[in-house]
Amino acid sequence: MRAVTRPNWLGGIFAGIWLLIILIPVYVMLRASFESRATYAQNGPLGLPREFTLENYFSAFDLGFGTFLFNSGAIAVGTVLIVVLLVPPLSFAIVRSRSRAVRVVFRIMLFGLAIPSQVVVIPVFYLIDRLGLYDTLLGVILPTAAFLIPLATLILSSSMREISNELYEAMAIDGANSLRTFVQLVLPLSRGGIATIIVFSALNAWNAYLLPLILTRSSDLRVATLGLGVFKREFSLNIPGLMAAIVLTIIPILLTYIFARRALIRGLMGVGGK
């Protein structure tokens, strides 16, 4: 389970450099979010912090960000629920089934990974409209979840296949059918993979732009990605305001990731026949 236990200095240095590269834009974003527009304009993106103000965050909430974040959250939660209900059985089938039809399904999922949403968004609009779900959160959740199924399936199958045959054999000797095997063996050992797909489905749904744009119009359904527009004009941007709004959209997902990681690590520890 552990890689080389001696401290790896070369690796550490490389990781440190990479950390710096990762964090420079994050620094720009954070610093700008706490500055006023005039200060940021003097300071430029790479300046040292000169001011600390919360005015951008306040104005984000004044302009409706509370609602926007709630809507993004609702869509993320709904999407995750659908994905978690549909994908584990599918992954189980892909990893364990001997049926040729399931082989075909796996190919379809690989194929589905490559569908670009821009082109299908218009037929999706007609579909949702005909279902009477235009301008509803559910109307956004359903297609968003559907487009995430291939990705989630690939990730979860990759994780599930590590469950060793001996464990399945033990269940079979026990007289377990596929449902019992799924519930008592596969699900507990797939906790890590399921945590991963929860995080990535939530992330993708949270950052979705195109589907909410085309499928909703009411102000009270506006999501955070569209809500960023309150800091834009047709040609120019209010960068500090925009950065504050972006920080607000990052925090919930970061928290989700941090909590899910615990399940991830604990889950991964259990894999491997130990």
Partner 1 sequence: MNKTGRAARVLALGTAVAVAGVLAGCTSTGGNGGPNNDRPEGEIHVLVLGDAAASAEQAAADRFNESSDIKVVVDEGATAGNDYTTAVRNSIGTASAPDIFMSWGAANIQPLVDAGALLTLDDFIAEDPELKSAFLPSVFDAEVIDGASYGIPMRGVAPTFLFYNEAVLADAGLEPAATWDELLDQVSTLSAAGVTPIGLAGADKWPTQMWYQYVFARSIGNDEVAKGLAGDGDVWASDGSRAALATITELIDAGGFGQNFDSVTYGTDGSAALLRTGKSAYELMGTWHFATVEAGDPAFVQSDLGWTAFPSLDGDGQDGEIAGNLSNYYNVAADTRYPDTVRDFLKELYSDDFLGDELALGNLPPTTNAADLIAADADLGEVNKEYLSFVVDLVGNAPTFQLSWDQAVPAEGLTPVQNAMADYFNGTIDADGWIAAMQAATAR
Partner 2 sequence: MNRLATREPANGRRGGPRAAGRPGFTWSIPAVAFFAFFALLPLAVAVYLSFTAYNGIRLVPPRFIGLDNWSRLVTDDALHRSIGVTFILIILAVATQVPVSMLIGVWAAGPQRIRAIVAALYFIPLLMSTAAVAVLWASLVDPNFGIPSLLTGVLGPNNVFSNLLGKPASAIGLIVFIYLWGASPLHTLIYQGGARAIPEVLYQAAAVDGAGPVRQFFSITLPQLKNTIVTSTILMVVGTFTTFDLILILTRGGPSAATSNLPYFMYDRGLNALDFGYGSVIAVVLIVLAAIVSGVMVRATRYDEMQGTQEGI
Binding partner of residue 113 among partner 2, partner 1, none, CB under 5 to 8 Å per kind?
partner 2
Q: Which amino acid is at 229?
A: G
The answer to whether 141 and 82 have CB atoms below 8 angstroms apart is yes
Q: Which residue among 1, 6, 16, 44 contacts partner 1 (CB under 8 A)?
A: 44
Tokens standing for 84?
């978690």
Bridge partner list, 232: 237
- Quote the least distance from Cβ 65 to partner 2, whole Å: 14
Position 98 contacts partner 1 (CB under 8 A) = no
Position 40 contacts partner 1 (CB under 8 A) = yes
Q: Which residue among 107, 180, 217, 266 contacts partner 1 (CB under 8 A)?
A: 217
Residues 235-274 that bind partner 1 (CB under 8 A): 235-239
CB closer to partner 1, 135 vs 162: 135
Residues 223-242 that bind partner 2 (CB under 8 A): 225, 228, 237, 239, 242
Residue 112: how many CB atoms within 10 A of its CB?
Answer: 16
**CA 76/CA 137 separation, integer angstroms:** 10
How big is the site for partner 1, counted in residues (CB under 8 A)?
A: 38
Residues 135-174 that bind partner 2 (CB under 8 A): 142-143, 145-147, 149-151, 153-155, 157-159, 161-165, 168-169, 171-173
In 3D, which of 176, 193, 231, 205 has the Cα closest to residue 37? 231
| CA angle 238–239–243, rounded 5-degree value | 120
**CA 156/CA 181 separation, integer angstroms:** 17
CB closer to partner 2, 27 vs 58: 27
Q: Which residue among 122, 138, 251, 254 contacts partner 1 (CB under 8 A)?
A: 122
Residues in the chain: 274
Longest dimension (CA), the chain: 73
Position 24 contacts partner 2 (CB under 8 A) = yes
Position 133 contacts partner 1 (CB under 8 A) = no
Please give the backbone phi and psi of residue 237, each rounded to the nearest 5 degrees, phi first: -125, 145
CB closer to partner 1, 77 vs 213: 213
**The three-state (H, E, C) secondary structure of 218-265, written as one string:** CHHHCCHHHHHHHHECCCCECHHHHHHHHHHHHHHHHHHHHHHHHHHH
- Quote the least distance from Cβ 198 to partner 2, whole Å: 13
Interaction site with partner 1 (CB under 8 A): 37-38, 40-42, 44, 99-101, 104, 122-123, 125-127, 129-130, 134-135, 213-214, 217-219, 222, 226, 228-239
